[in-house]
Amino acid sequence: MGIFGSSDITGIDIGAGGIKVARIRHGHQPKLTAAAIVEFPPTATSVSVTADLRQLRSEQKIGGRNIVTQMAGKDLTIRSLSLPKMPLTELNEAVRWEAKRHISYSLDAAFVEYLITGEKREGAVDKYDIMMVATEESRIREQLVPFDEAGINVTAVDANVLALRNVLFSRGESVSTDTLVIDIGAGKMEINIFKGGILRFSRCLETGGADITRLIADFLNIGIQDAEAIKRTMNVMTPSDQDKAASAVAGRLDAFLMEIRRSVEYYKTTFREKGVDRAVLTGGAGLMKGLPEYFSRALELPVELCDPFAVLAPGDSTAEGYRSLAPCFSTAVGLALRKA
């Protein structure tokens, strides 16, 4: 189990919209042994994450050991690198040197990690494909404050995109498949593009489902709570002349789509690819009715809704209890699937 001392790992995803927890027992097939979701009130100006974590621990949703949490892309610098094969001690220094070129703060204040995602040969040179992740150490300390206050010892902190990779590519993927992953939470939208299971592009925008709720509230002149209820029941595929809320939301979704298209175009130009083959939608906003179809029609791509529970043992009763909210648990499950 590498850094973990037992087969149970708890993934905790804290976002703008709430806390999602998944505890997985590793074995021949991973099994979900506990799960929970705590939604933050849409009208709240502040929330007590520490109190919620204490409550989840008292309910035994969070294990005593092997806790993994995440950092969203907005706090990270993520780059795909290709470096010649070398001893790992030299590779560590080479990755840090590369990080210096991409970060705006001092390397002394940086926390730099990397993952070897593949190997290749270019001409006569054997190379590693590497995903590098860098952030300021102060950001990590800020992320861990509520855990420290709740008496929870975090074993590891992962990038959100690494957790999603664990879910989406745990069963393998054709090396020639270009997959667009759209992760829309309450407060952010991450756009990631993978070649097979190798991350090649990652971008995070500070806009998400909460902006849609506020838009509905302003457009219909109603409260945030009522707007959130409408968002959860409306179908975004409803013609705009039949639903005022759908008309308002369409503009925001089209703004999302514009950023997604820009990201795909950048990917095509930078990596000389023809485009992407498929798209996967995840995050809480993915629960909006008709959203996969709306994106599929606009992007002219098959868009599937992420089901993180599909990687678990068949007939997992705990997972079935949260089936209707499956896309919300993608990051938490991916964190709990961490192997080392």
Domain CATH code at residue 226 = 3.30.420.40
Predicted confidence at residue 5, as pLDDT, reads 57
CA distance 239 to 256: 19
pLDDT bin (cut points 50, 70, 90) of residue 98 is very high
Mean of pLDDT over the chain: 91
Q: What is the CATH number of the domain that holds 113?
A: 3.30.1490.300
Looking at the predicted structure, is the pLDDT value of residue 311 above 90? Answer: no
Tell me how far apart the 2 most distant CA atoms of the chain are, in Å: 65
Residue 4 domain flag:
no
Nearest C-alpha neighbor of 53 from the set 41, 44, 63: 63
CA distance 288 to 263: 23
Do residues 305 and 133 touch, judged by C-beta distance below 8 A? no
Predicted confidence at residue 4, as pLDDT, reads 63
If asked whether residues 185 and 106 sit together in one domain, one would say: no
3 compared with 184, residue with greater pLDDT: 184
Strands 278-282 and 198-205, how do they pair? unpaired
Residue 35 domain flag:
no
Task: Give CA 237 to chain center in angstroms.
Answer: 25
If asked whether residues 301 and 197 sit together in one domain, one would say: yes
Domain of residue 123, residue span: 77-136
Looking at the predicted structure, is the pLDDT value of residue 229 above 80? Answer: yes
If asked whether residues 293 and 197 sit together in one domain, one would say: yes
If asked whether residues 188 and 258 sit together in one domain, one would say: yes
Looking at the predicted structure, is the pLDDT value of residue 173 above 60? Answer: no
Reduce the DSSP state of residue 335 to 3 states and report it: helix
Predicted confidence at residue 171, as pLDDT, reads 62
pLDDT bin (cut points 50, 70, 90) of residue 1 is very low
Reduce the DSSP state of residue 73 to 3 states and report it: helix
Residue 67 domain flag:
no
Predicted confidence at residue 317, as pLDDT, reads 84
If asked whether residues 96 and 197 sit together in one domain, one would say: no
User: What is each CA distance from 276 to 163, 266, 295, 299, in whole angstroms?
Assistant: 21, 12, 14, 10
If asked whether residues 223 and 292 sit together in one domain, one would say: yes
- Cβ neighbors of 3 (< 8 A, separation 6 or more) are 155, 156, 340
Helices assigned H by DSSP within the chain: 49-58, 88-100, 137-149, 160-168, 209-220, 224-233, 244-271, 291-299, 317-320, 330-336
Q: Which residue has the tokens 């667009």?
A: 180
Residue 132 domain flag:
yes
If asked whether residues 266 and 215 sit together in one domain, one would say: yes
Residue 292 domain flag:
yes
CA distance 82 to 131: 9
If asked whether residues 203 and 264 sit together in one domain, one would say: yes
Predicted confidence at residue 174, as pLDDT, reads 53
**What total number of domains does the chain contain?**
2
If asked whether residues 205 and 294 sit together in one domain, one would say: yes
Looking at the predicted structure, is the pLDDT value of residue 290 above 60? Answer: yes
Q: Which residue has the tokens 């050991």?
A: 65
Predicted confidence at residue 240, as pLDDT, reads 80
Residue 62 domain flag:
no
Amino acid at 339: K
pLDDT tens digits, one per residue of 255-271: 999 999 999 999 999 98
Do residues 213 and 207 touch, judged by C-beta distance below 8 A? no
If asked whether residues 184 and 127 sit together in one domain, one would say: no
Residue 211 domain flag:
yes
Predicted confidence at residue 196, as pLDDT, reads 82
pLDDT bin (cut points 50, 70, 90) of residue 3 is low
Residue 99 domain flag:
yes
CA distance 265 to 222: 38
Q: Which of 27-41, 65-79, 251-265 has the highest mean pLDDT?
A: 251-265
Entry pTM:
0.91
Of 89, 111, 136, the last residue of a domain is 136
CA distance 173 to 194: 10
